[in-house]
Structure formats: structure tokens, C-alpha cells
């Protein structure tokens, strides 16, 4: 029986790119269900690709094949891989950091290097700029429909997975938590971090009591936000347009404005230079 095939790219949906990929997949595997994860990853933004993939995979059945194409190195000699997670999901992707957060969240068990000589779409030999169509979805559709086994894509990958530089979340000695701002959730502008929500227990804080918490954001070590926010279960517990801190739907701490855009109002972005700190307010 076929598994589902789920596609993620930074191609947008205005151009022919995604539809050409789906045509290739449907031609090879007409009974394979094809879904979109998103095609609106910010162009070339491997960080956003990795986080988005890591936070979506687990909601799909084990065996689902994900094709991720955020590939600034297309046509160069960068490595292409197919990876199996400990949860039984498969990811076909350029090996450029995309797998790093998937590994952190789900664990990666096996990785194989795609043998481009054997698995390029027939007829695509002269093209070097669209491996989403000519390599990744071609391999992905064959894997999802069981026409190709994972081990048949190529030799085992021997190197460590390329890592994105993400500051690890940590518990600070002076009753605080620190981590990186790992994303901005469009279209709302919510801030998400890699600080686990249940670390609030270490600070003896619960959203049920709506405590005020001291929240700092630093960009390249310069403070850009420094306020006491109410810790609440969800957005609607504060007045409209007021800021709040909450546990997001992936189990980490987030910041938002109720029905407003936190990132825009406070001019916050994400990445390894954006640090979030939380401190308990002691009366």
C-alpha cells in the first residue's frame, strides 16, 4: 500500500514549480495521496524549513514521505539524502541543515545519500536548477509508493548531520530561563522559542494563576524588549492588542499580542542572534 507524500518548498505557489513536481509524482505513483506542507518558506531560509518540518512530521502517520526542497545549493555538488526518523517518517532533502531540528525533535535513525546518477528523472540530464522536480520528488514518489526501498537510494551517509547554530535552552542560576527565538508564526506574528513550556515548573509558575513574568529579548546582546507580561493559557485571557506569554502548540514558550502582531509591533525577528529570557518576578 502506498504512503502519503507531503511536499515542502520555498517555491511559492504562483509559478509552475509545485505543479510540475506534483505532475512528476502523480505520473509515477497515481494512487499516492499528495499533500502540501507549505511552499511559502522564506526563500533559502533553511532555519525556517527545518523548524517547520520538525513541528509537523509527528502529526502524519509513520511511513509518510516528506520531500523538502529549500535548496540554495541546487546544481552544485551539495549532498542529497533520504533520512528515516525514529518515528518511521522519511525525509528527502538536500543535506544543508534542514534535518537538524528534525533530528533534535524526533531523532534520525538512518540516512542514505541519493545516488544522483541512478535516480535523476529520465530526461532531466540537461537541467541543473530544478532538483525539486528532477530528483527529490522523483525519489520521494518512488519511496512513498514502495517502488523503491530506502536503502536503494544510495550508500549510507557517513558524516554528522549539518547543524544550524541554535543556542540551546537553559535554566539560568538566578531563577530564569533562556533560549533562542526560533520562529515567527505567520500570519499572526507570534514569537516562538525553544524553551520548553514545562520548565515553568522549575520557576514554580502556572498560567492558571495568570502571574506576571519578566520577559527580555536580546538581539546580538542588545536588549530590544524588556517588560512584565502575564502568563496565561491562551490569547483571549488578556485585553485585545495586549502582550502575553503562553505555552505554544509544540510545547515551548511563546509571546503574542491578543489579536495583534507581536513581531511587527516590537520589530522582532528570529535566528541564532535572537535570545529570549524569562525571569520570575519575586515580590
Q: Is 225 in the site for a copy of itself (CB under 8 A)?
A: no
Taking CB under 8 A as the rule, which mask of x and - marks residues 87-126 in contact with a copy of itself?
---------------------------------------x
Strands 34-38, 5-9: pairing is parallel
Indicate which single residue of 112, 130, 136, 274 sits in contact with a copy of itself (rule: CB under 8 A): 130
Give the integer Cα–Cα distance in Å for 65 and 143.
7
Give the integer Cα–Cα distance in Å for 35 and 55.
16
**Shortest distance (Å) from residue 116 CB to a copy of itself:** 13
Q: Is 136 in the site for a copy of itself (CB under 8 A)?
A: no
Under 8 Å between Cβ of 210 and 278: no
Indicate which single residue of 75, 88, 107, 223 sits in contact with a copy of itself (rule: CB under 8 A): 75
Indicate which single residue of 112, 157, 246, 262 sits in contact with a copy of itself (rule: CB under 8 A): 246
Sequence-ordered list of residues with C-beta below 8 angstroms from that of 202, at least 6 positions apart, any chain: 171, 177
Sequence-ordered strand ranges (E) for 70-221: 80-85, 90-94, 108-113, 170-172, 176-185, 190-196, 212-219
Give the integer Cα–Cα distance in Å for 84 and 82.
7
Q: Is 133 in the site for a copy of itself (CB under 8 A)?
A: yes
**Shortest distance (Å) from residue 46 CB to a copy of itself:** 11
Short-list 212, 215, 222, CA closest to 191: 215
Closest to a copy of itself by CB, 172 or 265:
265
Closest to a copy of itself by CB, 172 or 240:
240
**Shortest distance (Å) from residue 57 CB to a copy of itself:** 8
**First-to-final CA distance of the chain:** 61
Backbone angles phi, psi at 67, to 5 degrees: -110, 115
Residues that bind a copy of itself (CB under 8 A): 4, 6, 10-16, 18-24, 26-27, 30, 33-41, 43-44, 52, 55-56, 59-61, 64, 72-76, 78, 126-130, 133-134, 185-188, 197, 233-237, 246-249, 251, 254, 258-259
Amino acid at each position: 500500500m502506498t504512503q502519503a507524500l507531503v511536499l515542502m518548498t520555498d517555491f511559492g505557489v504562483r509559478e509552475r514549480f509545485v505543479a510540475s513536481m506534483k505532475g512528476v509524482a502523480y505520473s509515477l505513483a497515481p494512487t499516492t495521496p499528495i499533500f502540501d506542507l507549505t511552499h511559502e518558506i522564506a526563500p533559502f531560509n533553511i532555519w525556517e524549513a527545518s523548524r517547520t518540518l520538525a513541528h509537523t512530521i509527528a502529526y502524519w502517520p509513520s511511513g509518510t514521505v516528506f520531500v523538502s526542497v529549500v535548496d540554495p545549493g541546487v546544481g552544485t555538488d551539495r549532498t542529497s539524502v533520504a533520512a528515516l526518523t525514529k518515528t518511521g517518517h522519511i525525509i528527502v532533502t538536500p543535506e544543508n541543515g534542514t534535518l537538524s531540528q528534525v533530528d533534535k525533535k524526533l531523532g534520525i535513525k538512518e540516512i542514505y545519500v541519493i545516488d544522483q546518477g541512478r535516480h535523476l528523472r529520465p530526461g532531466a540530464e540537461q537541467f541543473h536548477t530544478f532538483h525539486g522536480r528532477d530528483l527529490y520528488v522523483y525519489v520521494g514518489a518512488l519511496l512513498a509508493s514502495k517502488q523503491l526501498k530506502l536503502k536503494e537510494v544510495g550508500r549510507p551517509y557517513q558524516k554528522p548531520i549539518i547543524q544550524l547554530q541554535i543556542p540551546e535552552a537553559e535554566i539560568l542560576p538566578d531563577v530564569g530561563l533562556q533560549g533562542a527565538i526560533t520562529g515567527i508564526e505567520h500570519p499572526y506574528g507570534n514569537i516562538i522559542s525553544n524553551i520548553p513550556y514545562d520548565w515553568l515548573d522549575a520557576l514554580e509558575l502556572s498560567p492558571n494563576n495568570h502571574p506576571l513574568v519578566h520577559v527580555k529579548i536580546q538581539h546580538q546582546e542588545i536588549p530590544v524588549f524588556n517588560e512584565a507580561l502575564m502568563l496565561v493559557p491562551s490569547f483571549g485571557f488578556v485585553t485585545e492588542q495586549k502582550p502575553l506569554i503562553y505555552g505554544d502548540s509544540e510545547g515551548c514558550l511563546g509571546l503574542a499580542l491578543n489579536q495583534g502582531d507581536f513581531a511587527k509591533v516590537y520589530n522582532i525577528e528570529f535566528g541564532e542572534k535572537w535570545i529570549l529570557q524569562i525571569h520570575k518576578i519575586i515580590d
